Amino acid sequence: MTRWPRQFGVGDWDFGVDNGYLRGLVGYWRDGFDFEAAAQRINSIPNYLTVIDGLPIHHLHSRSAEGDATPILLLHGWPGSIVEFLEVIPKLSEPREAGKESFHVVAPSLQGFGGSPGIDEPGMSPIRIAHRIASLMEELGYERFIVHGGDWGTLVATHIASLYPERVLGLHVTLTHPIPPADVPDPMALVREHELKWLEENEFNAIDGRGYFEIQKTRPETLGFALTDSPVGWCAWVLDKFHQWTDCERDGTKDIRNAVSWDLFLTNLSLYWFTDTISSAMHFYREQYLALRSGQGTAGKVMVPTGAGIFPQEILKSPKAWMERRFPLVHWTEHPAGGHFGAMEQPGFFADDLREFARKIGG
């Protein structure tokens, strides 16, 4: 029943998603994708709903066989989900390699995403979500834990680390905001040569790839009518981000399958679709915008050990020296491959980096 727009351009994605590529992906979603198999893959990791203040939080929870293992909390962003961590979780909680320590792993759906329903009024701000997830960890019996965040998960994880320093063993992130230190006469003098390209890429993404952000922070409900009504529209909206944000270019051609399989992409896409959380997830952008306007959107100072795993195609990358002046940085890795969805694209690199960070901080 889709009303397709006319074919446009030569397929270089300069004006947006390529018509032919999208038709092929949608055709596979309709006739080839096995959602029952995808659901079984999600359910291969124990799923739970825990009610906090009358509202459930969905989470994956894989316990290590070692009772005294360190808990690790994994936080996703938009348009990702717990699907980002499906391959990482077993690597951390049930490592097959001899001699590798295991962890208790918790991966919640952020409120309004996937299995965690949103609310019917404004107020589910990132800092409120941070408090709720900290309460979830307490309910699960984890008084102290490591927290990782990517994309919006970075903000929520940073809130948790700053609000609950006595409970957070360490903060690990993959998205690093490039904020020049104010107490340095020439911040650019601290930037290493290869990091200059990072800053150029940051600027390009801000100019050429931020339209979605401005819409979602100002009128998420308006956009929600269109995307909730049209599976093809929703697919195009998310495909655009995966095409731009993943490390998917090979021999001069970009195809998301070079980074993430169509099956995994569609598992993530379908999770939003079947839980009717397309619109509520976009509220996160508006809530953070309103929180910043009220002076409550910026996370407080982080005092716990911090680590960063930098993937080359991440959309925001900070020079290391700038991060060292904002956080007690004890761990820094620059991965050879991967993009914005690092855990999804390079689960081996991601899991090894988290394990190395935990070793450094004694977790």
User: Active-site residue among 104, 148, 151, 283?
Assistant: 151
Q: Which amino acid is at 10?
A: V
Helix axes 278-293, 262-275, angle to 10 degrees: 80
With CA atoms as reference, report the closest residue to 272 among 115, 136, 56. 115
User: Active-site residue among 104, 340, 352, 353?
Assistant: 340
Residue with tokens 């989900």: 81
340 is catalytic: yes
User: Active-site residue among 58, 285, 352, 353?
Assistant: 285
Distance CA 202, CA 316 (A): 6
Tokens standing for residue 241: 């981000």
The SS3 assignment for 359 reads helix
The strand ranges marked E within the chain are 47-52, 55-62, 70-75, 103-108, 145-149, 168-173, 249-250, 253-254, 306-310, 329-334
Q: Is there a contact between 338 and 311 (Cβ–Cβ < 8 Å)? A: yes
**Cα 151 to chain centroid, rounded:** 4
289 is catalytic: no
DSSP-derived secondary structure for 340-351:
TTHHHH-HHHHH
Catalytic residues: 151, 285, 340
